[in-house]
Amino acid sequence: MWEKLEALRAARAGRRISSLFETDPQRAQRFTVQTCGLLLDYCKTQLDDESRAALIDLAAEAGVAARARAMMGGACVNETEGRAALHTALRAPETAGAIRVAGEDVLPAVHATLRRMEDFARAVRGGSAGGPGGAYTDVLNIGIGGSDLGPAMAVQALKPYADGPRCHFVANIDGADLADTLAPLDPARTLVIVASKTFTTVETMTNARTARDWMARSVDRPAEQFAALSSAVDRTADFGIDDSRVFPFADWVGGRYSVWGPIGLSLMIAIGPERFREFLAGAHAMDRHFLEAEGADNMPLMMALVGIWHAQVCGYPTRAVLPYDQRLARLPAYLQQLEMESNGKGVAMDGTPLARPSCPVVWGAPGTNAQHAFMQLVHQGTQVVPCEFLVAARGHEPELVHHHRLLVANCLAQSEALMRGRTLDEARQMLAGRYEGQELERQARHRVFPGDRPSVTIAYPQLDPQMLGCILALYEHRVFAEGVILGLNSFDQWGVELGKELAKSVDSALSGSGIGASASTATLAAFLRGGGA
Ligand code: F6P
């Protein structure tokens, strides 16, 4: 099927995306999918009926649908770690029917923990749980990677719904992160949540110990103001956190897929348990859609196939995510982990080298800011960057609807401009009154836009908890489907291990007790150990 896709691409070389609208007046309807209130528009790509059908066949050959059923049914799909990948169980209603891992239904434990989180969140929000200074005014989540990016992104995304204590997030081992965050906080009114699946991650544990020391300087029993979110409950006890404030989760919840369970506690405290349930319900609706919708009606599948077309068939090495929604400012960073930690692999499930490029580099920033920064390259640079726009019909600022209209106009104008471009003739005509002769020619060439640059747009009514849940689950399943098509394991992350191991030996070098690194690293270590002189 790959050969067929490559042949289709070659056969269409030189055909412009805009011409597809001329030959098919129904294209705008036929190359969109709607579900759960979301609309995915992929008309502004080179996909046509034949290439779409071939891509759908590719997904069928790879067994995406069967693999999705296996994943959501609790099978051991994370084969290199010998585990299920059951984040979908965290958002399944209790009445959904048993989901078994090693013969045991996981839903009762998931919902028991969810209810404990809700009781705790209500107590924190209502003030019955607090510090010596009274009700908590601030919550500090200490975690990194999936134990940070999901809740940090979601708390910002759902700010209009946040009526609980203020939430802060510290991830980096750089003491500046913790110091700057702690500076305005009152230790007597701050709840510290240590979020770590393993409870061994050096950044998180170092920050957690420093935060405990900070609190101990003004509070008698600092451990009472700590909660833990982890799969390693023996280690949370060793840290001194009482079991009543430990919210456990199973090893089948991957870090980058964990915002739906205990790792989402800070979000639940921010927006309240009812809104958090709406967030889960939005994701569950997308799970059902992904399982049930077929072929071109399946939104995550179509997102995946457009991604495969661009990265693996056309060979475009990057993909830009451009939320025209300021509160999704952290979505690109969240998706970087979700997509690149999942599908940035060099070998297939059986250990053989991947036959195609792995997932593209994902990057991006909110619009319209991006337009005044890097969109120049996307419009006129020599490389093609497929773009993903996200935009809501409504904002949350009724008094600022004119801002929102301009935001939407800019979003739609970007994808239109990327597709349409501007020819040399058009540029000449535009400048004809200002320049002439050779200067006209020179100036006109600078104003040519090649166009034909692909993009998809995800549109939704408003960024509320349910919609955020839908969007994140859409991306999760897109990543999953791409991973199945590429034949790799989307649920391990061995590639982060080597750097962690070497950091230990370089740390020894910095403290002067030895070196296990190259001459380059040893020289840098000596310079830095000497204070940079
Ligand atoms: O280093 C990568 C990673 O393992 C991520 O997959 C994970 O989200 C992050 O570290 C944090 O891990 P933990 O929750 O165990 O502290």
Pocket flag, ligand 1, residue 300 (CB < 6 Å): no
What tens digit of pLDDT does each residue of 90-142 get?
999 999 899 999 999 999 999 999 999 999 999 999 999 999 999 999 999 99
- What single-letter DSSP state applies at residue 315? -
217 CA from centroid of ligand 1 (Å): 29
Contact 264, 150 (CB under 8 A): yes
Which tokens hold the place of 302? 């179509």
- Tell me, what amino acid is at 66? A
Q: Which atom of ligand 1 is the closest one to the Cα of 341?
A: 6
25 CA from centroid of ligand 1 (Å): 48
**185 backbone φψ class: left, alpha, beta (φ>0; ψ -120 to 50):** beta
Partnered with residue 100 across adjacent β-strands are 105
408 CA from centroid of ligand 1 (Å): 36
Which tokens hold the place of 531? 């204070």
Q: Using pLDDT thresholds of 50, 70 and 90, give the confidence band for residue 358.
A: very high
Q: Which atom of ligand 1 is the closest one to the Cα of 231?
A: 15
- Alpha-helical regions (H) of 75-130: 107-126
**pLDDT at residue 203 tops 60:** yes
Contact 452, 420 (CB under 8 A): no
Which tokens hold the place of 75? 């099978």
Contact 351, 309 (CB under 8 A): no
* Beta sheet of 246-248, edge-to-edge order: 166-170, 138-142, 190-195, 226-230, 246-248
Contact 304, 127 (CB under 8 A): no
The two beta strands, 130-131 and 134-135, are: antiparallel
**pLDDT at residue 514 tops 80:** no
What pLDDT does 147 receive? 98
**pLDDT at residue 267 tops 60:** yes
Q: DSSP strand E in 71-214: where?
A: 100-101, 104-105, 130-131, 134-135, 138-142, 166-170, 190-195
376-379 contact pairs (CB < 8 A, 24+):
378/320, 378/418, 378/453, 379/417, 379/418, 379/449, 379/453
What tens digit of pLDDT does each residue of 172-201 get?
999 999 999 999 999 999 999 999 999 999
- Tell me, what amino acid is at 96? A
Contacts of 442 (CB under 8 A, 6+ apart): none
Q: Which atom of ligand 1 is the closest one to the Cα of 496?
A: 1
Q: Select from 78, 80, 142, 147 the residue to mutate for testing ligand 1; criterion: most ligand atoms less than 8 Å from CB.
A: 147
What pLDDT does 175 receive? 98
Contacts of 55 (CB under 8 A, 6+ apart): 5, 47, 305, 308, 309
198 CA from centroid of ligand 1 (Å): 8
- What single-letter DSSP state applies at residue 398? G
**421 backbone φψ class: left, alpha, beta (φ>0; ψ -120 to 50):** left
CA–CA dist 420, 16 (Å, integer): 9
Q: Which atom of ligand 1 is the closest one to the Cα of 493?
A: 6
Q: Which atom of ligand 1 is the closest one to the Cα of 204?
A: 16
Contact 428, 357 (CB under 8 A): no
CA–CA dist 26, 15 (Å, integer): 18
* The model scores a pTM over 0.85: yes
Pocket flag, ligand 1, residue 198 (CB < 6 Å): yes
Pocket flag, ligand 1, residue 197 (CB < 6 Å): yes
Residues assigned a catalytic role = 341, 372, 500
What tens digit of pLDDT does each residue of 399-452 get?
999 999 999 999 999 999 999 999 999 999 999 999 999 999 999 999 999 999
**pLDDT at residue 515 tops 60:** no
What pLDDT does 510 receive? 74
Pocket flag, ligand 1, residue 196 (CB < 6 Å): yes
Contact 181, 168 (CB under 8 A): yes
Q: Single out the residue of 314, 361, 319, 310 nearest to residue 340, CA to CA.
A: 361
What tens digit of pLDDT does each residue of 41-55 get?
999 999 999 999 999
CB atoms within 10 A of CB 393: 12
What pLDDT does 224 receive? 92
364 CB burial (10 A radius; 0-12, 13-18, 19+): buried
What pLDDT does 519 receive? 83
Pocket flag, ligand 1, residue 201 (CB < 6 Å): yes
- What single-letter DSSP state applies at residue 372? G
- Tell me, what amino acid is at 207? N
81 CA from centroid of ligand 1 (Å): 14
Pocket flag, ligand 1, residue 113 (CB < 6 Å): no
Note the Cα 236 to chain centre separation in Å: 27
Pocket flag, ligand 1, residue 255 (CB < 6 Å): yes
Pocket flag, ligand 1, residue 229 (CB < 6 Å): no
What tens digit of pLDDT does each residue of 291-310 get?
999 999 999 999 999 999 99
What pLDDT does 500 receive? 77
In whole angstroms, how far apart are CA 236 and each of 13, 199, 220, 230? 58, 7, 20, 8
H or E element, residue 219:
none
